Amino acid sequence: MLVTYGSSSEVLARSIAKTVGLALVEINIRRFPDGEQYVKVLGNVSGEDVAVVQSLGMNPDALFIEYSLLVDALKGAGCRSVTAVIPYLAYARQDSRFHRGEPLSIKVIAKFIESAGTDRLITVDMHLHRYKEIREVFSIPAVNLSAMPLLAEYYRENFGSQRTVVIGPDMESEQWAKVVAEKLSAKYMILEKERLGDRDVKVSGELSTKGSKVVLVDDIISTGKTLIEVISRLKAQGVKRVDALVTHALLVEGALTKLRRAGLSELISTDTIPGPQAKVSVAPLIAEALKR
């Protein structure tokens, strides 16, 4: 197998290739003056299985097009198969027609990925809530890995786990909070979230955290409004330290600054989305999946 990359994940792709001991195929990616994208495969991929690493955060529409062009270029150059390594899979949050007239976005994107020529898919902590398994979304072989054990281990080694309470901000986060709590030998609790719009939420539920250090756990931070709401409640109860473990830290609209102001001590995420808070790499996790 060979490894290559899209523009969002070159550093991660190089790390994966080094970890698993595979050759990296370089790519030329540029734009025409009118904004159209151009990609060119610079290595020989004839007869090879190729893993394409392309996370879909921050500019998903353009990155989807780039990924599609890259897969077609690889297939046109004679590669045997393409494994999509999409650490952050955008549009998965719209996994239901919540209101009349809405698209089922996750199914649309799945079809898009498949029709591009993808043979297999690997992703990390996909936003699977209304669907129980990733195979319900994709018709090609697909694997959904979890970075939560890695995040929990990093936290335990660097910050300890004594007198720690793990909190998930909504019922959908319980799957991750449970894993982190087990790794930290801590208890966990789950709150309830009501979404009032794209940017506003209301969080409710009982909190019992007296004398504890709190670790918030979720799959995605975008604007940060959900965690800010929880942090505000915790601070009002006198909790002195609140940290957060998140797989995908999008952090749009100044979210990190707002979280700090709300009282968040540490935000630890993975490199599915690059950034200074990405202290944990998913490269070993993906490398092991490629070996299998």
Give the residue numbers marked as catalytic. Answer: 193
Partners of 194 in beta bridges: 202
Strand partners, 292: none
Identify the DSSP state of 24. Answer: B
Name the residue type at position 140.
I
**Whole-number Å distance between alpha carbons of 150 and 193:** 26
Three-state DSSP class for residue 176:
helix
Q: In what order do the strands lie in the sheet with 187-190?
A: 187-190, 164-168, 213-221, 242-249, 264-270, 278-280
